[in-house]
Chain A
């Protein structure tokens, strides 16, 4: 905690800011990228959101309130940026966010940065059928192997609620796959 506090001070201090931020980017680029990518699906979209996330962190670090851990704050920004990105992209095409994601999933086959078969696409569709928060919980727990405690801090939900939500999500995905008889 002391180290983190010191690191945050170096991010705020104009003299050490650039070096500290370079370290932050190097430490967080991969986990934040994958967190974003699992939400937005497309690599180019994920790249845009990743840039926006780090920019927001860079510009907003002075307002960091030390009420949560740094990584929690960054993940929260990344999550919000991802969801807002989907919303605004869907708006441009006069679609709902869910319709937008369905459209993206249908185009995954042609995506050069997607390495999956029909089953994986069906699984992705099943994940997409979940409510937004449940989808996030599932992705963070199952795909990114995050601890419930970490997810609870990022999404500002109780651990108990998260666990219940996660197990329901698993059940729903399985049911969805059985419905399409691809599982």
Chain B
């Protein structure tokens, strides 16, 4: 007996509904009724849909979405406004010092002094030479300046 025949597979183990192949035609293929879904008895007769509840749910959902979107928009505006409206032409003293520390620009002492707000500077005259002192008096002394003499 061949190995095949020893397998004993019943080739007729699969069945079809009665007259199944009679129902297969071009029309059944092209216009197949795909409605295999059933509904409970009298479903459509007893169907009631509460539209008001559904509308409120939708309304609440939309309102909530709008509020979240508004908050997000305001946050974005605040952040971008801060970024863009910052006066980039005014630098803090620390920014100037750290920029100069890199020795990008070789300033003289007098040029350095021009960069800072003189009203806030406390000048130590101890190490000034006479020329420097005179120069300082000539260029900086102003009755409006508050210079602290040590």
Chain A residues close to B by CB (< 8 Å):
18, 21-22, 25-26, 29-30, 33-34, 37-38, 41, 43, 50-51, 54-55, 58, 112-116, 119-120, 123, 142-143, 167, 170-171, 173-174, 177, 183
Contacts and interface: CB of A to CB of B under 8 A. Distances in A.
Interface residues of B, number: 23
B29 A174 contact: no
Contacts of A114: 13-15
A124 to B, nearest CB: 8
B98 interface: no
Contacts of B26: 18, 21-22, 25, 54
Nearest 7 A-B pairs (CB), nearest first? Answer: A116-B13, A54-B29, A113-B15, A22-B26, A29-B24, A120-B13, A21-B26
Contacts of B16: 33, 43, 113
A115 B30 contact: no
B103 interface: no
Interface of B: 3-4, 6-17, 20-21, 24-26, 28-30, 32
A113 B17 contact: yes
B107 to A, nearest CB: 71
A171 B3 contact: yes
Contacts of B3: 167, 170-171, 174
Given A29-B21, A51-B32, A170-B4, 14 more contacts: A33-B16, A34-B14, A43-B14, A43-B20, A50-B24, A54-B26, A54-B29, A119-B8, A120-B9, A120-B10, A123-B7, A142-B4, A142-B9, A183-B8
Contacts of B32: 51
Contacts, number: 72
Contact of B17 (A43, A58, A119): A43
Contacts of A167: 3
Contacts of A22: 25-26
A18 B29 CA distance: 12
B38 to A, nearest CB: 14
Contacts of B4: 142, 170
